[in-house]
Structure 1
Amino acid sequence: MKELPSYTDGRFALYRKWTDEIHDFPMEYLVNQNMIIWYSEISVFDRVKYEMQQAGIEVTMKIRIPRYKKIDSKCVCIIDGIQHEVYNAAHIINKNGFPETELTLIRPERQIEVLDNDKSRAECPFT
């Protein structure tokens, strides 16, 4: 009998990066996708962490969620009020045959401002 995957380590709010190019200089914002997704944390091996640190990338977490193909490197996960940028999203089939998505999360170069709901509905193309 196959065991259903459980996602009980935590949850995150999903945001997508959006660049406002209307003004003289582009501004990047986060737009709430109105999704809360539960996850299961998986380990990041020391070798992977070391190799990515050598490239100037700090891995903050690696997590597994039910398969969701709309997550990519233009997304940010906010976990306990902290922004984690999606570095990589791998869509896999787990050992029991269930489709899942593995996310490698990194520390963003800077905190990105969250666009408020009123402004995002009026201007952003994916709200």
Structure 2
Amino acid sequence: MREPLPADMFDELCPSSLNPVRFGDKWAALVIRCLEHGPRRFSELRVPLRRVTPKVLTQSLRSLERDGLIKRTVHAGAAPRVEYELTPLGLSMLQPLDAACAWVAEHWDELLDAREAYDGAARLGGVSR
């Protein structure tokens, strides 16, 4: 039996939310991180990804499946169930994600300072958009 995913896995103050590396979509890296230890059902993914609507999570999963990063398996039976798991290509994303997360952890304070400075300047009208 696998350990359940922690509800606070992607807390709003988690360094992963500052990750500047985007591929697929906004939530793709977080979905990949959720699947790094094996297959998960949609309801399991919803626990740490509670800020993602079910519709958007479904879109992210489909996009990752289309890109060959995850595999969707339907298990037939009296109560059919669907699981998502990383493919070998998806597993190969873990090392770059680890590097990106390490970079974010190293530059956490600088990222927060830059965002606060930018937002402060924007409020004062000093940033054109």
Larger Rg: 2
Bigger proportion of residues as strand: 1
More helix by share: 2
